[in-house]
A = this chain, B = another copy of it.
Amino acid sequence: LSRQHRAPLYEALLQHLKKKPLSFHVPGHKMGEGFDIQAHACYSSILRLDQTEIEGLDDLHSPHGPIDQAQRLAAEFIGAEKTYFLVNGSTGGNLAMIQTVCGRGDVVIVQRNAHKSIIHGLILAGARPVYLAPRIDPETGIAAGVDGFTIEKAMRHYPEAKAVVVTSPNYYGMGSDLKKIQAAAHHAGIPLLVDEAHGAHYGIHAKYPRSAIQQGADIAVQSTHKMGISMTMGAWMHVQGQLIDKERLEWLLTVYQSSSPSYPIMASIDLSRRFFYEQGYAFLQRGWEMANRFRQAFQADEHYYIPSPERENHAYTSIDPLKLTIHIRKSLTGFMLKKHLQEKGMYMELADLHHVLAVLGPGTKKEEIDLLIHQLAVLSKEAKHSCEKENPRFIANNILYKETFQAVHEPLDITRYKGKERMPLKQANGRISGEMIIPYPPGIPILHVGERWTPELVEQVLQLKEQGARFHGVADSTLEKVTVLT
C-alpha cells in the first residue's frame, strides 16, 4: 500500500506554495506576510500553510480533491467505509453523530459518564436518554465502562431506542467490550456510536485494544491530537454499515464545523494517518515498553497503585497501556502530587482527589519516564514521614446507581428555558437543573443540564455531602445553592 506513504493534503499545500502565489483571498495575514513581528518566528512557517478553499486545495465541506484523497487513505488505513476529518475536535463529531441517529423525543441508550459533547448532542436533538450506569473500578473508584448485559437489559425495557452511545476508552484508558455491545445493538437493528476520543492509536499493535470500528461500531470518533500527532482540535470520524444516513451526517458535520476550516489542522490529520502507518507500530512498541517500565517500578508500592493491562477486572475489559493512572493510596491528594511534580517541571494531564494521570504519546522519551519514576519515588519517601491517613478508595458507590439504568422521561429541551437562577438545594425538587452535578469520586454526573431534580436526588446529594464527596461542574461547590433553569 505504497500510497499510504503519501500525504495528499499536506503535499497539495506545498505544491501551491511552489507556484509563488499572490493571495487576493483570506486569511488577511497573506501567508504570514502581515503578522506580529515578535511572534513571526513562531508562526511564519505554519502561516504559509494557512490557506483557504482556493483552486487545488479542495473544500472540507464538499471534498473532491486532496482532502477527499486524504480522507480515503484514512478510511483505508482504519478499515472504515468512510472517514471524515474533524477540525472542531471530537466535540464537533460527537454533536453531529448524535443528531444523525435521533430527533425530538427519540429514546437513546447512553452511558452516563459521557463527555459533555455527547450530552450536548442529546440536548440539541431534544432526545430522551436512557442513562446506563458505568461499572466502578473497585481498585481506584473510577467510573469505567458498561457491559453488554446492561445494554441488553436496557434494550428489552426500551425497544423503541434509536441508538446505543458509549464512551470507550474513558479518560483513564479503561474500555468496554464493544464487540458484545455491538452485537446487542445490531441484534435490535440499531447503531452503536462510540466516543473513542482517547483511542486514536487503537487497532494497530497487538498489545493495545482493538479499535471500535474493528469491533463493529457504526460510528467512531477519535481525537488524532490526543494520541496521534495532529495539532490540537484535529480529529476524525469513521463510519461503516447501512444503519447510518450518511447524507444527514455530512450535513450535520457542515453545521457544527467552521465554514473556514484550518488547513494546518487538516493537513496534520493527514500527517497523523501517515505517521500511524509508517511509525505507529514502532511508537506503540516503544510506548508499551516505557509504560511497562513505569508500572513495574511501582508494582508493590505502598503509596501508589497503577492500573495495568494485566489487572483488568469486571469494571473494564481493556486498558490503554499509555495511560498511567497513578492512584494514591495514602498521605497525598492528587492535587498535591500534581503540584509537587509541576515544581519539578513535569506537567500532568489531570489530577483529582486520589489520582494523577500521565499520558504518553508519540513525542514521549524514555528519559522522561525515568525522571517521573524517580520523582514519584522521592515524593513517596517524603510522604512516609508525614500523615499516614489512608485515602478512601471510593465513596458513594452504594448510593449512586442502585439501578443499572435510568430513563429521562422528557426530552432534554433546554431551548424552552429563558435563563437561570440560584436557589437552595433543599427547595430544588421539581426544577430543571441548569448545571451538571458531578459528585467526586467517582465523577459520574448525578444530574445533567436539562434534567429534573427529584426528592430522591436531593436526598442523595445531601448524603454524598455528608460522606465528604466534592462536587464538580457546579457554581457553588458547597451545594448549598444549585442553579436551575427559569
A-to-B contact residues, CB < 8 Å: 7, 10, 19-36, 38-39, 41-52, 54-55, 87-92, 95, 99, 102-104, 115-117, 120, 123-126, 201, 223, 225-233, 245, 247-248, 251, 254-265, 267-268, 271, 274-275, 283, 324, 342, 345-350, 358-365, 368, 371-372, 413, 415-420, 449
Given contact pairs A43-B46, A104-B416, a sample of 15 additional A-B residue pairs in the complex whose CB atoms are under 8 Å apart: A7-B36, A10-B36, A22-B368, A24-B324, A24-B348, A26-B225, A27-B225, A28-B363, A36-B275, A43-B45, A51-B232, A103-B418, A116-B254, A248-B419, A251-B449
Other-chain contact of A231, B50, B126, B259 (Cβ < 8 Å): B50
Given contacts A124-B255, A262-B265, A415-B126, contact A34 B362 (CB under 8 A): yes
In angstroms, Cα B230 to Cα A28, docked, is 8
B27-A262 in contact (CB<8A): no
B39-A10 in contact (CB<8A): yes
A363-B23 in contact (CB<8A): yes
A258-B362 in contact (CB<8A): no
- The residue of chain B having its C-beta at the shortest distance from the C-beta of A35 within the complex is B229
A362-B259 in contact (CB<8A): no
In angstroms, Cα B21 to Cα A324, docked, is 18
Given contacts A231-B27, A416-B103, contact A364 B34 (CB under 8 A): yes
Other-chain contact of A260, B25, B33, B223, B417 (Cβ < 8 Å): B223
A45-B41 in contact (CB<8A): yes
Closest 10 CB pairs of A and B: A30-B363, A28-B361, A89-B258, A34-B362, A34-B363, A103-B415, A33-B363, A24-B358, A46-B46, A25-B349
Given contacts A19-B345, A232-B50, A362-B30, contact A247 B116 (CB under 8 A): no
In angstroms, Cα B87 to Cα A87, docked, is 10
